[in-house]
Amino acid sequence: QTKIDQDRAERTEKLQGMGCKRKRVEDVRFTQGKGSYVDDLKLPGMLFGDFVRSPHAHARIKSIDTSRAQALPGVVAVLTAADLKPLGLHYMPTLAGDVQAVLAEEKVLFQNQEVAFVIAEDRYIASDATELVDVEYEALPCIVDPFKSMLPDAPILREDIQDKMEGAHGPRKHPNHIFEWKIGDQEATDAVFANADVTIKEMLVDHRTHPSPLETCQSVASFDKVKGELTLWGTFQAPHVIRTVVSLISGLPEHKIHVIAPDIGGGFGNKVGAYAGYVCSVVGSIVLGVPVKWVEDRMENLSTTSFARDYHMTTELAATKDGKIQAMRVHVLADHGAFDACADPSKWPAGFMNICTGSYDIPTAHLAVDGVYTNKASGGVAYRCSFRVTEAVFAIERAVELLAQKLGMDAAELRIKNFIKPEQFPYHSALGWEYDSGDYHTAMKKAMDTIGYKELREEQAKKREAFKRGETRELMGIGISFFTEIVGAGPAKNCDILGIAMFDSAEIRIHPTGSVIARMGTKSQGQGHETTYAQIIATEIGIPADDIMIEEGNTDTAPYGLGTYGSRSTPVAGAATAVAARKIKAKAQMIAAHMMEVHEGDLEWDVDRFRVKGLPEKFKTMKEIAWAAYNNPPPNMEPGLEAVNYYEPPNMTYPFGAYFCVMDIDVDTGVAKTRRFYALDDCGTRINPMIIEGQVHGGLTEAFACAMGQEIRYDEQGNVMGASFMDFFLPTAVETPHWETDHTVTPSPHHPIGAKGVGESPHVGGVPCFSNAVNDAYAFLGAGHIQMPHDAWRLWTVGEKLGLHT
């Protein structure tokens, strides 16, 4: 028996399947500079485009004179809205049901908005020529503060839709209003608040920031006039959706559009939407008949393509005296900038903000969201989170802390008291979700024991006394966050993009020699898909992961999929992969039965082979079966061994985690040092623990960035203040804290391999954890809620306001 077990263990290890720390196969090319990115593409005759951008946040365009630019040697064309209008392309549809100017026509609505597109023989000439385009503007009063958007005398921003009082999501209350979205039982919630023992209410601002991937957004369009075919390379998180959008807006048939997303250097939501640069490179190539490349620079990326957050959340909790939360009430004022270009599934104008009851059994809740226009860039993307989940988790996790403070209760104890209990799963939340699985108590206990929570609180109590006695100038904060994510969009009943249900797909082909190619509808931006999908297939069909090639990003070869964002790859395409592999396995079983002349039912699966039950020496390996599939299939069976699956998930998956942060803050300088950060994640079945750890490190680093400094700020004239890495905080290894990671495993009951997503959890849980640590440090001094980002300057001002400086 031991020998058989040992043999099985050896064969299992050789597969490098699920659960093993397989090294990332893509890194061989990335670490040797052999990655192939959009900007690496050099095509014969290729031209380069660059934008003329508005210096004003709100201004009327009086005139545009392109003659000086056109006269510059090397300039081939200058496009303006007047050129695009006859083609119906001066506006493009957004995912949120609005339209967005490709090139500004009569007005500009945010600083750096695209006004003209210069196409030249090289990038430098194009850039020089943008300065020769003469645009005459008449500056208009602008709106930067979303709370001023709907004032009666507010300037009307979107004149193109000012008479349209019905938006994509119902009636509009003001020309600068986009939508109102309400969910939950308002009357019941109000009634609980009216009679509650204890309530808290706070305006929690999740400030405007940006995903800022290392590689900016870019595209190369190449139109073949003879064939009438367009090839479009670009930084696309969702290549198939881009192909559909290009077809819809250009009128080109979808089969004549080839969209290719090569290697992508980070996305984090930034590369989901469609941008003016894509449209202009396509138009340029169609008009000129040669390839046109567009590559954003860093300032353009930070100031024009897809901001994140900008949610102003009035958050309330009602509870009993002993800390049982009875109700939650939230109003969000959502600043969407100049166009509603939020990247959410169509029916969700505020994404999955209604996950804001968090990990707690809150019986009654109501959420209302108002979206408004301002003179800022549009976007509203899910920066390393599922749609608006970071905002939702920030709201509940800060609110729980404020409630604990008011009740004089320990913040961890209050959480535990209100957790959804293991036996309550599947759990129906007051705001409409069905949580698939969770064991919050076990995770929290493990986290508290590992971090030494009790001892830390004792140390903090002593430090506070010492601070009051003037013996130290350091404050100690303990941040907690217990988050529940909602990832894997999503079931067709509630998730679509432009009417296309949010399924995803996998196509697996086994070649005669037993090697495999698998193609997915998703697209990695660095998450390691080439490594991990192969691990799923290896375990399912018993072929070593090293013999399996994963391909994504080419719409000609990959099956249609909705792409990668919102940690949906594992919950949706990962499931498709397992189901497609199982189809292959079922066919392989029939072939094996034919080969061994036994009944299918007499066979059992054993790691990499089918063997005859009770006769372990009689077997056929998957490799042998693959060969037979091409030369000796059973009679009446078609040859070949391949399968495709389009997976429509029955539910989302709900990963969760317990995070703790210990922080020391110097009150005199406002400098905050993270002493410890412990992150326990539960993403169900773990495919590759090493990749998960990498994802957690990355997500936490971006959480640290957002909470502790990263911000896109505007001055009163609408000048964007955070548009370069001089001003926008991008932590390096020097600033980034050390991460301690841990896990529990609570599989998803509806996912074929029990896996939930993980890529974004650390970001979602990390942001409130840092903010709670900062707030906890100052809480005993009566600081009240301190808004993010918590950079040293802002924390210094907190000390100043509290009169702590001498």
Q: Identify the CA nearest to 124 among candidates 329, 325, 297.
A: 297
CB of 514 to ligand CDP, least distance (A): 23
Residue among 157 and 575 whose Cβ is closer to ligand CDP: 575
Angle CA 335–336–338, to nearest 5: 120
Q: Quick check: 692 binds ligand CDP (CB under 6 A)?
A: yes
Give the binding-site size for ligand CDP (rule: CB under 6 A).
23
- CB-based contact 608:543 (threshold 8 Å): yes
CB of 489 to ligand CDP, least distance (A): 10
Residue among 758 and 777 whose Cβ is closer to ligand CDP: 758
Near ligand CDP by CB under 6 A, which window of 238-246, 287-295, 310-318, 685-693?
A: 685-693
Tell me the sheet residues that pair with 220.
233, 293
Q: Within 10 Å of residue 800's Cβ, how many Cβ atoms?
A: 12
**Host H or E run for residue 652:** none
Q: Quick check: 747 binds ligand CDP (CB under 6 A)?
A: no
CB of 609 to ligand CDP, least distance (A): 26
Q: How far apart are CA 192 and CA 198, in angstroms?
A: 11
Residue among 92 and 764 whose Cβ is closer to ligand CDP: 764
Residue among 206 and 485 whose Cβ is closer to ligand CDP: 485
Active-site residue, selected from the candidate residues 16, 237, 525, 535: 237
CB of 561 to ligand CDP, least distance (A): 11
CB of 45 to ligand CDP, least distance (A): 36
CB of 720 to ligand CDP, least distance (A): 28
Residue among 520 and 541 whose Cβ is closer to ligand CDP: 520
Of residues 291, 477, 757, 766, which one binds ligand CDP by CB under 6 A? 757
Near ligand CDP by CB under 6 A, which window of 124-132, 504-512, 578-586, 753-761?
A: 753-761
Of residues 183, 261, 495, 755, which one binds ligand CDP by CB under 6 A? 755
Active-site residue, selected from the candidate residues 217, 695, 760, 769: 760
| Strand 229-234 with 257-260, pairing | parallel
Active site residue 760: yes
CB of 269 to ligand CDP, least distance (A): 10
Of residues 208, 336, 623, 686, which one binds ligand CDP by CB under 6 A? 686
Near ligand CDP by CB under 6 A, which window of 78-86, 247-255, 657-665, 680-688?
A: 680-688
Of residues 684, 698, 709, 737, which one binds ligand CDP by CB under 6 A? 684
User: In the 3-class helix/strand/coil scheme, how is 236-305 assigned residue by residue?
Assistant: CCCHHHHHHHHHHHHCCCHHHEEEECCCCCCCCCCCCCCCHHHHHHHHHHHHHCCCEEEECCHHHHHHHC
Q: Within 10 Å of residue 52's Cβ, how many Cβ atoms?
A: 25
Q: How far apart are CA 375 and CA 334, in angstroms?
A: 13
Chain-centre distance of CA 188, in angstroms? Answer: 33
CB of 268 to ligand CDP, least distance (A): 9
| 145's tokens | 């503060």
| Percentages (nearest 5) of helix, strand, coil residues in the chain | 30, 25, 40
DSSP state of 600: G
Q: Quick check: 758 binds ligand CDP (CB under 6 A)?
A: yes
- CB-based contact 355:429 (threshold 8 Å): yes
Near ligand CDP by CB under 6 A, which window of 316-324, 420-428, 513-521, 756-764?
A: 756-764
Residue among 574 and 799 whose Cβ is closer to ligand CDP: 574
| 41's tokens | 């593409």
Q: How far apart are CA 273 and CA 365, in angstroms?
A: 32
CB of 376 to ligand CDP, least distance (A): 27
Of residues 306, 577, 695, 771, which one binds ligand CDP by CB under 6 A? 695
Residue among 388 and 756 whose Cβ is closer to ligand CDP: 756
Residue among 184 and 528 whose Cβ is closer to ligand CDP: 528
Question: Per-residue x/- marks for ligand CDP, 508-547, CB under 6 A?
Answer: -------------------xxx--x---------------
- Number of helices and strands (H, E) in the chain? 19, 36
Q: How far apart are CA 211 and CA 198, in angstroms?
A: 38
Q: Kindly provide the b/e burial profile for residues 29-50, where b requires at least 16 CB atoms within 10 angstroms of the residue's own CB.
A: eeeeeebeebbebeeeebbbbb
Near ligand CDP by CB under 6 A, which window of 249-257, 439-447, 550-558, 752-760?
A: 752-760
Q: Quick check: 570 binds ligand CDP (CB under 6 A)?
A: yes
CB of 536 to ligand CDP, least distance (A): 8
Residue among 84 and 382 whose Cβ is closer to ligand CDP: 382
Q: How far apart are CA 676 and CA 682, in angstroms?
A: 20
To the nearest 10°, report the CA torsion of 785, 787, 788, 789: -120
CB of 685 to ligand CDP, least distance (A): 6
CB of 562 to ligand CDP, least distance (A): 11
**Host H or E run for residue 507:** strand 504-510
Near ligand CDP by CB under 6 A, which window of 36-44, 168-176, 248-256, 688-696?
A: 688-696
Residue with tokens 């899910």: 382
At 73, is the secondary structure helix, strand, or coil? coil
Strands of 114-120's sheet in order across? 75-80, 114-120, 47-53, 292-295, 218-224, 229-234, 257-260
Of residues 25, 290, 333, 691, which one binds ligand CDP by CB under 6 A? 691
Q: How far apart are CA 251 and CA 258, in angstroms?
A: 14
Question: Per-residue x/- marks for ligand CDP, 548-567, CB under 6 A?
Answer: ----------------x--x
To the nearest 10°, report the CA torsion of 449, 453, 456, 458: -110
Active-site residue, selected from the candidate residues 22, 243, 384, 519: 384
Near ligand CDP by CB under 6 A, which window of 433-441, 687-695, 704-712, 727-735?
A: 687-695
Q: Identify the CA nearest to 267 among candidates 346, 376, 350, 385.
A: 385
Residue with tokens 């010492």: 466
Of residues 412, 431, 548, 687, which one binds ligand CDP by CB under 6 A? 687
Active site residue 385: yes
Of residues 568, 611, 763, 790, which one binds ligand CDP by CB under 6 A? 568
Strands of 504-510's sheet in order across? 548-551, 516-520, 504-510, 642-647
Residue among 98 and 507 whose Cβ is closer to ligand CDP: 507
DSSP of 170-229, one letter per residue? EE-SSTTEEEEEEEE-HHHHHHHHHH-SEEEEEEEEE--B----SS--EEEEEEETTTTE
Active-site residue, selected from the candidate residues 385, 495, 661, 683: 385
Q: Alpha carbon of 625 to those of 258, 537, 548, 579, 639: distances in Å?
A: 35, 16, 16, 19, 11
Question: Per-residue x/- marks for ligand CDP, 627-666, CB under 6 A?
Answer: ----------------------------------------
Of residues 235, 359, 378, 569, which one binds ligand CDP by CB under 6 A? 569
Of residues 759, 762, 766, 789, which one binds ligand CDP by CB under 6 A? 759
Residue among 262 and 718 whose Cβ is closer to ligand CDP: 262
Active site residue 237: yes
CB of 749 to ligand CDP, least distance (A): 14
Near ligand CDP by CB under 6 A, which window of 120-128, 247-255, 630-638, 749-757?
A: 749-757
What residues make contact with ligand CDP under the rule CB under 6 A? 527-529, 532, 564, 567-570, 683-688, 691-692, 695, 755-759
Which are the catalytic amino acids?
237, 384-385, 760
